[in-house]
Amino acid sequence: MENNKYFIGIDIGGTKITIALIGEKGEIIYKENLQTRENLDKNIASENIINTCKKIKNNFSSKNILGIGIGACGIVLYEKGNIKFSPNIGWENFEIVKNLEMALGLKVILDNDANAAAWGEFFLNYRETFRNVICITLGTGVGGGIILNKKLYRGSSGTAGEIGHITYIHNGKKCSCGNNGCIERYIGTKGIIEFAEEMLVKIKNKENPSYEKFSDSMLFDIQKKEKILMPKFIQEAGFKGDKLALFIWEEFGKILGILIASMINIFNPDAIHITGGISHAEKLFIESLKKEVEKRAFSVPRETAKIIFSEERQDMGVIGAGLLLMEN
Amino acid sequence: MENNKYFIGIDIGGTKITIALIGEKGEIIYKENLQTRENLDKNIASENIINTCKKIKNNFSSKNILGIGIGACGIVLYEKGNIKFSPNIGWENFEIVKNLEMALGLKVILDNDANAAAWGEFFLNYRETFRNVICITLGTGVGGGIILNKKLYRGSSGTAGEIGHITYIHNGKKCSCGNNGCIERYIGTKGIIEFAEEMLVKIKNKENPSYEKFSDSMLFDIQKKEKILMPKFIQEAGFKGDKLALFIWEEFGKILGILIASMINIFNPDAIHITGGISHAEKLFIESLKKEVEKRAFSVPRETAKIIFSEERQDMGVIGAGLLLMEN
């Protein structure tokens, strides 16, 4: 048997369950997808996941497989090894860790998918150089993963890191969480789209003389054609020099900068790691972001904290899940 | 020699330097104050502090004194044992740890005063029951001390916990830190006074019909008599049932509630511990605070986090400093 360590990673998402054999450098040796819709019953899911893991164990019996790490969407009880509620799939009280440990005789760790991905990023990129890293994932939501002293910080009941739901405007827009004015509501996908749409209305209505320069924005045409002004369209327009698109990204950078400055003042981290589709637009918002951070963060922690944008690495969910076994 | 452990605690503040012999239950065995103004020269300060420590060592030679813990105001480099800059005293690059260790042959730990006090609170009140506690000190400033996994979390360069300087209103009032709209600017002493004064002006000017009910507030007279509407006056008026005072505390509770909700969503702690003179007014703002937390914090971490108000314990600075030696 070779000396290298291997892990089975399981990434449970709303549309598919990915199961993979992962090496200790994060390499994927083998990967298989199950369709979530065929696993809505948790007993069936349990059986299918166990069978796939068994197959991997048998097919790679020469490899030193140390355990299984699971990253799951929904509310996950880390210490109990229980998926409490997974709204997209409908599972409740799924004791997945116990099931898998009994059937497979391997150590199993369960965490939420954001933590698993953040851990993967930290372990593969930063563990030699940094101790404290705040990971921010920008997408539909704004997710957080907190790594302190080289370990995931999970909080007292496993829910730490909901940085998308700190209050940005206290009497602001209603968020999906029920609260008003969460920062996610402004820099998540929905917030960006809404801001762009609101701007188009204001420009049409000539609400503000300073918006006149935006009146020939290509976003008007794009909206007609595409119906929804997805961030990728605003990004393309920005790279083509469209003034309104550039303005939208500038505003986005300001708000993200405020979030980052608060994280720097609270955590004094070595780095803020930012991933998600929107990181492609980095060049369009980095200046306004940096200006805001410089204005708002204290100098000592600001000089310490590196702000790093990275494309979301495909399969980081399943890789990070597998690597959870390397946390302790 | 008895078995109990003892420590010398040193609390370096803007007006006095307190040096005390502390028992492991936080009891003060002996205490002495030096006047900061007589120690503005760091060499003189060093000599005076060393002499006082020597005296304590000699006078309590039967006690098992394990080391010295220092909590200092200003910018403190924990790992280097260096007071980088103490604006109130004027010290720069004071290598206090090296000086004391060489002169006294004892282990010396240096941290900032907020961390020392937070650690004292945690060690004496919570270490058996809680793992993660966020300490908030309300006063002129809004200070934070973060205890995670039963240890102080200091961040990568020792400045973590500046929770008073997260942004509350992004285009808000100028804060002493140079930023706009820090939450400290609204719930620190200055913010409370200003809000009260602004309300009095608005009431006089009849800016809002709903303020008419405040027109006979006793705060008008108090302002005439006392010039500055210190929070303690507003507190007294509140306890006497003054409607305007009650409204001011209600608003205060909302903003503090927003801060607490954000801390709960980020840290998922066992407890939020709140100290400071203002905690006396707890009954006047607890309802609006709780309402805001209920609205804004996620249910699982909200149900986990206890919100605990406590009077600032006198000498917690010097006690916590001494107990820093018990952290590791």
**pLDDT 10s digits, B8-32:** 999 998 889 999 999 999 999 999 9
Question: How many helices (DSSP H) and strands (DSSP E) are in chain A?
Answer: 11, 13
Please judge whether A75 and B300 are an interchain contact, meaning their C-beta atoms are less than 8 angstroms apart.
yes
Q: What is the pLDDT of residue B178?
A: 85
Question: Given A131, A157, A255, which is nearest B268 (Cβ)?
Answer: A157
Question: How far is residue A28's CA from residue A18's CA, in Å, rounded to a whole number?
Answer: 12
* Residue A66 forms contact with B (CB below 8 Å): no
B179 vs A contacts (CB less than 8 Å): 261, 295-296
Q: How confident is the prediction for chain B on average, in pLDDT? A: 94
Write down the pTM of the prediction. 0.93
Average pLDDT in the B266-293 region? 94
For residues B74-81, average pLDDT: 89
* CB neighbour list of residue B41: distance below 8 Å, 6 or more residues apart: none
Chain B residues close to A168, C-beta within 8 Å: 167, 170
Residue B84 dihedral angles phi and psi, to the nearest 5°: -70, -45
Inter-chain CB proximity B269 and A154 less than 8 Å: no
pLDDT of residue B328: 80
Residue type, position B178, single letter: G
- In a 3-state reduction of DSSP, which class is residue A139? coil
Q: Is A176 on the interface with B (CB under 8 A)?
A: no
Separation CA B101–CA B107 (nearest Å): 6
Give how far A188 is from chain B: nearest CA, Å: 17
CB contacts of A258 in chain B (<8 Å) are 167, 170
pLDDT tens string B132-178: 999 999 988 898 999 999 999 999 999 999 999 999 999 999 998 88
Contact A159 B267 (CB under 8 A): no
Tell me the CA distances in angstroms from B123 to B129, B147, B152, B225, B293, one per residue in order. 10, 10, 10, 43, 26
Grouped pLDDT means (10 residues each) for chain A, 328 residues: 87 92 96 91 95 97 95 90 88 95 97 94 96 93 94 95 92 90 94 96 95 96 96 97 98 97 97 90 96 95 96 89 94
| Contact criterion met (CB below 8 Å) for A235 and A252 | no
A136 part of contact set with chain B, CB < 8 Å:
no
pLDDT at B46 over 90: yes
Measuring CA to CA, how many Å separate A208 from each of A113, A243, A245? 43, 15, 17
If you search the block for the tokens 């994280």, which residue do you land on? A263
Residue B203 has a pLDDT of: 97
Residues 222-261 on B with a CB inside 8 Å of A are 254-255, 258, 261
Q: What is the DSSP letter of A61?
A: T
- Whether B82 has its CB under 8 Å from any CB of chain A: the answer is no
DSSP helix/strand/coil, B146: strand
**B155, A163: Cβ pair inside 8 Å?**
no
A131 neighbourhood in chain B, CB within 8 Å: 156
Distance to chain A for B55, nearest Cα, Å: 37
- What the block records as the tokens of B148 is 């995670």
Residues 23-62 of B with CB under 8 A from A: none
